[in-house]
């Protein structure tokens, strides 16, 4: 994988965790995952394009299991399917708002098979520390003064 996209994905994980969202550990089995899953997709490299950083939301395994079973069993949406859909909509909007506020450029993935995924187009300058990081403190600066 390209190191630039790995750094971007890690910065996305850090920002979402700083906002208080649970973040899925890279490599964790999908059956156990709950929260924001940040991954690098290299599928579009087959077409000569760069990899993409995507954020998906994983509801609890129990809700996922129930909604999936209901989709197979019933023609009309059940309460579990409706709840899962609404959670994905809400979390996609929340992830978009959080990352946008942190200086990332994001948009909907445009993937019909994963309509609530968020595509991270680019992030803030890596040389700029995130707003949640500790500020450099010196003897000539008080807590209320901005860093120079």
- Lowest mean pLDDT across 12-16, 25-29, 39-43, 120-124: 39-43
Tokens of 148: 């120079």
What number is the average pLDDT over the span 72-83? 95
H/E element holding 12?
helix 3-18
Query: What confidence score (pLDDT) does residue 40 get?
Result: 93
Q: How confident is the model at residue 83 (pLDDT cuts 50, 70, 90)?
A: very high
All residues at 6 or more sequence positions from 130 whose CB lies less than 8 Å from its CB, including other chains = 11, 14, 15, 18, 102, 124
Query: What confidence score (pLDDT) does residue 50 get?
Result: 73
DSSP per-residue letters across 42-107: -GGGGGTPPPEEEEEEE--HHHHHHHHHHHHH-SSPPHHHHHHHHHHHHHHHHHHHHHHHTT-EEE
Query: What confidence score (pLDDT) does residue 1 get?
Result: 54
| 73 has a pLDDT exceeding 90 | yes
Query: What confidence score (pLDDT) does residue 48 get?
Result: 60
What number is the average pLDDT over the span 63-73? 95
Report which of 61, 50, 24, 22 is spatially closest to residue 39, judged by C-alpha positions: 24
- Domain ranges, ordered by start, for the chain: 3-122
37 or 144, which is more confident: 37
Query: What confidence score (pLDDT) does residue 128 get?
Result: 87
β-sheet bridge partners, residue 39 = 54
What number is the average pLDDT over the span 6-27? 96
The per-residue pLDDT for range 118-143, each reduced to its tens digit, is 999 999 998 888 989 887 555 555 55
Mean model confidence pLDDT for the chain: 89
């Amino acid at each position: 994988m390209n190191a630039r996209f790995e750094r971007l994905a890690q910065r996305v994980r850090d920002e979402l965790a700083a906002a208080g969202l649970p973040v899925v550990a890279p490599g964790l089995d999908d059956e156990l995952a709950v929260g924001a899953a940040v991954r690098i997709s290299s599928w579009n490299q087959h077409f000569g394009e760069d990899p993409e950083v995507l954020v998906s939301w994983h509801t609890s395994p129990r809700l996922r299991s129930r909604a999936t079973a209901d989709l197979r069993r019933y023609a009309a949406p059940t309460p579990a399917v409706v709840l899962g859909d609404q959670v994905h909509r809400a979390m996609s909007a929340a992830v978009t708002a959080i990352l946008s506020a942190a200086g990332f450029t994001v948009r909907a993935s445009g993937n019909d098979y994963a309509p609530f995924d968020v595509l991270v187009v680019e992030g803030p300058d890596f040389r700029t520390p995130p707003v949640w990081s500790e500020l450099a403190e010196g003897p000539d600066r008080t807590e209320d003064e901005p860093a120079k």
